[in-house]
Amino acid sequence: MATVYDFNVKDRKGNEVSLKDYAGKVLLIVNTATGCGFTPHYDPLEAMYKEFKDKGFEILDFPCNQFANQAPGDEEEIHQFCTMKFGTDFPQFAKIDVNGETADPLFVHLSTLKPFEGFGKGIKNAALKKFADMNNKAFGDKAYIKWNFTKFLVDRDGNVVERFEPTVDMDDVKKAVEVIL
């Protein structure tokens, strides 16, 4: 069975990067956006990165504009926004699609292994589901990711161990990372 190490991606400057370069590290792979209600997730993500990077932890940030056009800038504009506003220091890659016929193969792989199981209970989560369903109708059965800031936790062997929807509390994400580390 394939692991994340079998995939190549493009960095924010367009250079091809093998995810084998991250072998032996715990990864949190995230599709992000700069103009989303979940954009403040950058703060706890950066705090986690600073706390755990010396223990073999990496966050791989993949901007995506497929959710209500909430990441409209180019790679350099997105990078500048993230570093200036949130002080992000973790690797940021080229903007990608995560749904549809043009979905990045890495995200197809991640979401096939850990499919969407819901946003959770509550009024906000129900509202997000309704909005996400409308947004993702165009992608049909290729709507792999339901919204920005979906996170995939990958162990040191490249296996996808957990999926976190953007509605999951970031403290819970951090606890799961600590367990894998």
Phi-psi domain of 85 (left: phi exceeds 0; alpha: psi -120 through 50; beta: other): alpha
- Is 36 an annotated catalytic residue? yes
Buried b (16+ CB within 10 A) or exposed e, 35-55: ebebbebbeebbebbeebeee
Question: Catalytic one among 4, 19, 33, 36?
Answer: 36
Helices (H), the chain: 42-52, 75-86, 105-113, 123-136, 170-180
Is residue 135 classed as helix, strand or coil in its secondary structure? helix
Active centre residues (catalytic): 36
